[in-house]
Amino acid sequence: HVDMDAFFASVELRDQPELRGTPVIVGHLGGRGVVTSATYEARKFGIHAAMSMTQAQRLCPNATVIEPNHEKYEEVSERLQEIYLSMTPLVEPLSVDEAFLDVSGSRKLLGSPIEIGEKLRSKVFAEENITCSVGIAPTKFVAKLASTRAKPNGLLVVAPNEVIDFLHPLPVGALWGVGGKTEEVLKRLGIFKVSDIA
């Protein structure tokens, strides 16, 4: 699983490199505006996607706010798809900034999954000047969890014999499909970690 790091914000920082290392929020200003992306510097203040812009600006008043440019993000996303397809024809896009790649048939040509993951990360950075995180695992579900744990700008491998040890200590909220409300219900039932579910 490959996932761009703070995708919209990273694309904006390419055009405004002087903002690198500072808190940047991408989102619509105004009463009902929400955060669509935030740099990791902004996230340190508790800012996250889908948060109201009013709350985000309250948490970090010094953050630079940039209006989203979805056309630009789509163009970058299309070029990212070409990079994925240069690694394997088996690409399953999840959104503009993430995808699953089955690289099992690419090993003879491109090397081990780790080598392919590193080549992918290098190519994304060389061609688009943004970073991504890669999770390598025997299933898509575990690969997605691994890429999240590798963020930002990392690569994490979960071998088949490591899956249980990797999953069990994770908080239930890490599971795909467990949102805030479901997590609250599970915690009320005394279920805090994946191991509790198991």
pLDDT tens-digit map of 185-194: 999 999 999 9
Asked if pLDDT for residue 99 goes beyond 90, the answer is yes
- Reading the block at residue 132, the tokens are 């991504």
Catalytic residues: 98
Give the pLDDT band of residue 177 (cuts 50, 70, 90): confident
For the segment 60-81, the average pLDDT, to the nearest whole number, is 96
- Reading the block at residue 131, the tokens are 């970073």
> Which of 132, 125, 141, 149 lies closest to 175 in space, CA to CA?
141
Mean pLDDT value across the chain: 95
Whether the CB-CB separation of 137 and 157 falls below 8 Å is answered with yes
For the chain, give the percent of residues with pLDDT over 70: 100
SS3 label, residue 101: strand
For the CA atoms of 35, 38, 23, 67, the dihedral, rounded to the nearest 10 degrees, stands at -50
- Reading the block at residue 121, the tokens are 């990360």
For the CA atoms of 41, 46, 49, 53, the dihedral, rounded to the nearest 10 degrees, stands at -100
d(CA 42, CA 169): 27
More confidently predicted of 176 and 63: 63
> Which of 7, 3, 6, 39 lies closest to 21 in space, CA to CA?
39
Asked if pLDDT for residue 32 goes beyond 90, the answer is no
For the segment 62-82, the average pLDDT, to the nearest whole number, is 96
d(CA 4, CA 15): 17
Dihedral sign, Cα of residue 178, residue 183, residue 188, residue 190:
positive
Asked if pLDDT for residue 132 goes beyond 90, the answer is yes
Asked if pLDDT for residue 30 goes beyond 80, the answer is no
- Give me the pLDDT at residue 29, please: 84
Residue 90 main-chain phi, psi, to 5 deg: -95, 80
d(CA 93, CA 104): 17
Residue with tokens 């904006």: 12
Asked if pLDDT for residue 80 goes beyond 90, the answer is yes
Give the pLDDT band of residue 176 (cuts 50, 70, 90): confident
